[in-house]
Chain A
Amino acid sequence: MSTVAASRPEINVTLWISTTLLILCGFVAFFGPWILPQDPTDFVTDQPFAKAQAGVWLGSDYLGRDILSRLMNGARITLAMAFAATFLAHLIGDSLGLLAAIKGGWVDAFISRVADVILSLPKIIVGLVVVAALGPSVPVIVILAAVVYAAGVFRIARALGNDIVAMDFIKVAKSRGEGTGWVLFGEILPHVVRPLAADFAIRMSFAMLFMSSLSFLGLGVQPPLADWGGLVRENLGGLSAGSLAAVYPALAIAVTSIALNLLVDALGEQKVDQKGTR
């Protein structure tokens, strides 16, 4: 999508902005408990949707709790869940994808068919049916997201793996008697780490949007816990009174998701640039 003619400074601007935003989000999520301005469950005012004031920098939510603190606490829940789901999705998808690439035959055919079925269904509808059956809870939602997104990861890992498996050094390794496990982790994995890492970032934004949507529908993280999607849902009622309480968490999701996408886009452009200059 990018052109070689693209000028360098502009690329670095998007790269810097997205990296800074992501580091900021990660920092808040990680050190949240030590830097929260208020207890996210405390009532700071007795009036719902209060305007911003000293100490309550973004105003109060529908019960009179501090929005900024709930937002920062939500970052922890949202990002931890998104990371866990993506990590699991990659763990499943990468190992099965590379395995299918090495083994071929019925192993490949079987896993591919299962992945095809998952990929040809609307994810959110699958999510709703699972939540209807098992009830909404954090483990159910994270595992659900992991399985749903593992199918896409599998396809990419398998395609990347197939490209490498066709190369001579794999034939050499196999004829040298190296086991499947060693060929997988020692020979193939180092060659596919970069594209898979890029996929991880994009996939994490998908998983975050997916789980936030479930929470927003009231079918994800349940109160008193609240991720960003849940915060949007809680405070939707204040919108007609002009309260921004529902907009901040929605904005947080959008910013994180856009930053992840821009980061991968910018890194991709630099890779093309390097190819062009070489």
Chain B
Amino acid sequence: MIAFVIKRLLQTAALLLVVSVLVFLGCEILPGDVAQVSLGQYATPDNVQALRIELGLDRPAYERYFDWLFGILQGDWGRSITTKTPVARMLSERLSNTALLAAVTTVVAVPLALILGLLMAVGAGRAWDRVASVVTLGLSATPEFLIATLGVLLFAVQLRWLPAVAYLSPGSDLAQTARALFLPAATLSIVVMAQIARMTRAIIGNLLTQPFIEMATLKGVPPRRVVGVHALINAVGPLANVVALNIAYLVSGVLVVETIFAYPGLARLMVDSVQARDLPVVQACAIIFCATYVLLIFLADVLAHIYDPRSNLEAADRKG
């Protein structure tokens, strides 16, 4: 168990190192370089050269990579090309907004999805399970921007209950924050819910074909208890894995949702920076998103491993 965690931890650290190299290289293959992009196409060669020296771009790439990497580790993310402000300051507020959105989505979507998946598994094969299966399959194949635009049309344009744009300023009170968060969080929740519910249904449905479930049924345990207790306990590991994977999925979901609702989060900062080709900011955002994603996948693996009866068996074998 501990050996597995340490092994996966080392793999994750190595992967993060590879990610940092790839992100750095990704911004190195740019035709021209940061100095050129920063000054625009009408800059004189002398000006570009002066800025290159000022930014340290005349040094070899590996030296700059290590400088950049150690800078990040010490909290120095460099300066934005367009706004000239330190990247770290631009990130901090945006990061908390995105974290808030992701947290609200998770708290709403995960319990609802697990309940929905369980209900589908209990009624497996019945009409409403089939309807719910098709609906959740459909929703998990639907792009976020359809759900978001329909949400805006219904709640912001037709009913006028909510704002179409999520204005969120540092001073806004709870009611304002809730109104701003509602549509973005609801959009993300629907997509995440559909996926978790589908997988829950599949995991529980799979467990229900096992002999111990048949045993419980023959013993006279009511079906609801068979699914809700006997199957559910054994599904905890795989379900925890599914939930972690879907929170990792939020990383890409927030990009689209923050753009539609003009939500002032990290994802929108990244999209804007890609358009402006503000590479230090793009690098920083990419590192944060990739690190979050990689760590969540690591968590999912560890959770699945802890609850896997076979891995416990191995441990018991070694002890005995």
Contacts and interface: CB of A to CB of B under 8 A. Distances in A.
Nearest to B256: A213
A132 B274 contact: yes
Nearest to B209: A3
B256 to A, nearest CB: 6
Given A121-B19, A125-B286, A262 B251 contact: no
A124 B142 contact: no
B134 A240 contact: no
Interface in B142-161: 142-146, 149-150, 152-153, 156-158
A1 B88 CA distance: 47
A56 interface: no
Given A121-B19, A254-B142, 6 more contacts: A209-B141, A213-B255, A229-B145, A250-B149, A253-B146, A254-B146
Interface stretch (A43-51, A151-159, A191-199, A215-223): A215-223
Using C-beta atoms within 8 Å of the partner chain, give the interface range for chain B: 35 or more
B251 A132 contact: no
Contacts of A241: 157
B142 A258 contact: yes
Nearest to B273: A132
A241 B144 CA distance: 21
Contact of A125 (B140, B202, B251, B277): B251
A95 interface: no
Main secondary structure of the interface of A (DSSP, over half): helix
A250 B149 CA distance: 8
A219 B275 contact: yes
B228 interface: no
Contacts of B251: 122, 124-125
B290 A122 contact: yes
Given A132-B274, A240-B164, A262-B134, A247 B15 contact: no
A146 to B, nearest CB: 17
B125 A121 contact: no
B196 interface: no
A212 B143 contact: yes
A168 interface: no
Most buried by B among A122, A134, A262: A122
Interface in B265-302: 270-271, 273-275, 277, 279, 282-283, 286, 289-290, 293-294, 297
Interface of A: 1, 3, 5-6, 10, 14, 117, 120-125, 128-134, 205, 209, 212-213, 216-219, 229, 232, 236, 239-242, 244, 246-247, 250-251, 253-254, 257-258, 260-262, 265
A258 B277 CA distance: 35
Interface of B: 15, 18-19, 22-23, 26-30, 124-125, 130, 133-134, 137-138, 140-146, 149-150, 152-153, 156-158, 164, 201-202, 205, 248, 251-252, 255-256, 259-260, 270-271, 273-275, 277, 279, 282-283, 286, 289-290, 293-294, 297
Contacts of B279: 132
A5 B275 contact: no
A122 B288 CA distance: 11
A244 B158 CA distance: 12
A40 B282 CA distance: 35
Contact of A1 (B27, B30, B201, B290): B201
Nearest to B165: A240
Contacts of B140: 261
Contacts, number: 144
19 contacts: A5-B125, A6-B125, A10-B130, A123-B252, A125-B286, A128-B255, A132-B30, A133-B30, A218-B275, A219-B274, A236-B149, A242-B158, A250-B146, A257-B142, A257-B143, A258-B142, A261-B137, A261-B140, A265-B137
Contact of A250 (B125, B145, B252, B273): B145
B15 A131 contact: no
Contact of A213 (B28, B29, B134, B143): B143
Interface hub of A5, A132, A217 (most chain B Cβ within 10 A): A132
B289 to A, nearest CB: 5
A128 B259 CA distance: 14
Given A10-B130, A125-B252, A253-B146, A131 B137 contact: no
A240 B145 contact: no
Contact of A3 (B30, B125, B282): B125
Given A133-B30, A217-B256, A257-B143, A125 B290 contact: yes
A7 to B, nearest CB: 9
B299 to A, nearest CB: 13
B211 to A, nearest CB: 18
B136 to A, nearest CB: 11
Contacts of A250: 143, 145-146, 149
Contacts of B283: 129
